[in-house]
Structure 1
Amino acid sequence: MNINITHRNDKVSPSVRERIEAWLETCQQRYDDISSAQIIIEKNDREELAEARVHIAGKDLFAKAVADNLYAALDALEDKINKQLDKEHQKHTNKKGVQKPVVEIEDDLEASAEPV
């Protein structure tokens, strides 16, 4: 997984980088579809802004969170992205938790193209 962490006003501290990478590693273990993530942190006069763009198979998920301190903004951002990842994961599973079967179109086309 490709992770890009950017701070618009300052350098990213090692503790913040470790926290974000640990969160993304747990997401990768749970959902396994994440190919890249871009996290942008910005500090305004009174509040911290954190936004994330996570690319999964065929989709980009985006979330933005604002809070008084950076760690609260990161917590809110993690919750938002985790909800979106869970929703995407639920779309690909049946009610009983089994993956939906993948229909192979090529086999159907070959069967219908054969002369009878």
Structure 2
Amino acid sequence: MNLKINSRHVEVTPAMRSHLEAGLAKIRKHFDHVIDASAFLIVDNAKEKDLRQSAEITLHLKGKELFAEAHNADLYHAMDAVVDKLERQVVKHKEKIQDHYHEKNFE
């Protein structure tokens, strides 16, 4: 899986990259048909401190794209939250595919 990381107002460090790769490895355990992923890390000057750091990830699957975003005061917590959201979406997508596949075989 290819991982492309873009950022705004923050320099992507090797630690950030490895943290995202570890999170996406969790997703890959559930569903290994992920073609590539695009991450966007943002640091803004929002008035609320909880919304200053945000992470967005788009997963490109075969025939589908999944998107999630999360905001937090800490960028690493935002990355963890967005990976958790995507993990739930991937599990739901996998269940839909498997249920649909079984329905076709019983007809």
TM-score (normalizing by structure 2): 0.83
Q: Secondary structure at the match of 1:100?
A: helix
Q: Is 2:71 aligned against 1:66?
A: yes
Partner of 1:84: 89
Give the corresponding residue for 1:25: 25
Identity across the alignment (%): 31
- Any gaps of 5 or more consecutive residues in structure 1? 104-116
* Higher RCO (CA < 8 A, seq sep 6+): 2
Shift of 1:2: 1.2
* Mean CA deviation greater in 46-55 or 25-34: 25-34
Pick the structure with greater CA Rg.
1
Secondary structure of the corresponding residue to residue 102 of structure 2: coil
TM-score with structure 1 setting the length: 0.77
Cα distance, 1:88 vs. partner?
0.3
Distance 1:63 1:20 in 2: 14
CA pair 102-13 structure 1, distance change in 2 beyond 3 A: farther
Report what 1:4 is aligned to. 4
Farther-moved stretch of structure 1 (81-90 vs 71-80): 71-80
- Larger % of strand: which? 2
> How many equivalent residue pairs?
99
In the other structure, the counterpart of 1:100 is 102
Report the CA distance between 1:74 and its aligned residue.
0.9
Would you identify which runs of 4 or more consecutive aligned residues in structure 1 move more than 4 Å? none
Deviations, residues 2-37 of structure 1 (Å, cap 9, x unaligned)? 110111113201111001011212322320110010
Letter in 1 for 2:85: K
Name structure 2 gaps, 5 residues minimum.
none
Partner of 1:108: none
